[in-house]
Amino acid sequence: GVNKLYEEDLELQKKIFEFPTIQSTHSLVAKHVTKEKWDKLARHITATAGFTLAKAIACAVEFDNQHCGIYAGDWDSYKDFADVFDPLIQEYHGISADAKHTSDMDFSKITGNVNPKAPVHSTRIRVGRSIDGYGLSPGITKEQRLGVEKLFKAASAKFTEELAGNYYPLTGMDEAVRQQLVDDHFLFMSGDPNLKVAGMERDWPEGRGIFHNTDKTFLVWVNEEDQLRIISMQKGGDVLGVFKRLARGIQAVGDSVQAECGKGFMLDEKYGYVHSCPTNLGTGMRASVHIDLPGWTKEGTDKLKARCEELALQPRGTRGESGGQTGITYDISNKHRLGYSEVQLVQTMIDGVNKLYEEDLALQKKHGI
């Protein structure tokens, strides 16, 4: 009987560790997860979160629409599965194999600001941060997730002045509070198929929540796609003011976590701040404005896309990544995440938006608007 079980077990192991069919045939996973690499890494389990390569590439195996298709379950994933992650990250971010990442949040180095005459509706800058020693969302254990929440709660209780506010856990949330967060567009929901398959919605909604300050200009999502997603935003085009608040907020969270548990944020000398999605590595920063560009709209969105590319910017519709474009308002943000410091990216965004505005005025004249 024991021999039989052992025999069957070997067969089952073969099945489990069989090279999977990757549905997203054009994804970076399809290119970088070869049979050879799979056979070498498939049996490995990471120390922090017990993550595997199969879990990492679940989205690319399950769906046929992934561009990247891989997530990390802990910092170890990037190191243990480096044969897959390194070339994939180099290709996505366009960096060399020996590149190093430098972070710089010193807002005094920013010169100028967005032209106050530019028709900017709002400004928003977000980054992700992960506390060392805890898993990342796709792999984090239940205990670790609750641990991250506890550390953040303690940190947010110490916020002062314009950062001071309240933390709202998703578990047992009061209906009136929930509705207010929905109305403010602050609430993150469950049900995203990618996040689900990637393992980020396990034990939902436990250990998750939202913090915002009294003015609703500083926001933190706890244990969504990243352990901490830190957001600074306000009406109008004061990009420098938004960046300053973000820098102060990150500092406040970091100092408090360090004091509570002696741990810092995961900062990799090659990949910068560690995020669950490799596309966010480096600064993990997206600095964006919503701006009216009637001249560029008339000129054509393809031409605007090409111009943004030259300025190292990314245009989107104001409904987000896949929402498409309606009207003349665009979401304009920095294109890069890794290989540039936060200061460089914010500066690029300020200069680029001013340039687009200037050109938009000329295009309005040209098209007789």
Residues tagged active-site: 126, 225, 229, 277, 279, 286, 316, 321
Cα–Cα distance list, 257 to 77, 132, 154, 158, 265 (Å): 23, 10, 8, 11, 9
Q: Which helix (H) or strand (E) element contains residue 108?
A: none
Q: Residue 134 has which token pair?
A: 């805890």
DSSP conformation class of 161: G
Of 91, 79, 40, 151, nearest to 338 (Cα)?
A: 91
DSSP letters spanning 5-37 = HHHHHHHHHHHHTSPPP-S-TTSHHHHH--HHH
Torsional sign, CA 237, 238, 240, 244 = negative
DSSP letters spanning 288-341 = EEEEE-HHHHHH-HHHHHHHHHHTTEEEEETT-TTS---TTEEEEEES--SSS-
Q: Which helix (H) or strand (E) element contains residue 201?
A: none
* Residue carrying the six token digits 């007789």: 368
Q: Residue 190 has which token pair?
A: 């469950």
DSSP conformation class of 267: E
Residues 126, 249 contacting (CB under 8 angstroms) = no
Phi, psi dihedral angles at 123 (to 5 degrees): -130, 140
* Residue carrying the six token digits 């474009």: 325
Q: Which helix (H) or strand (E) element contains residue 347?
A: helix 342-366
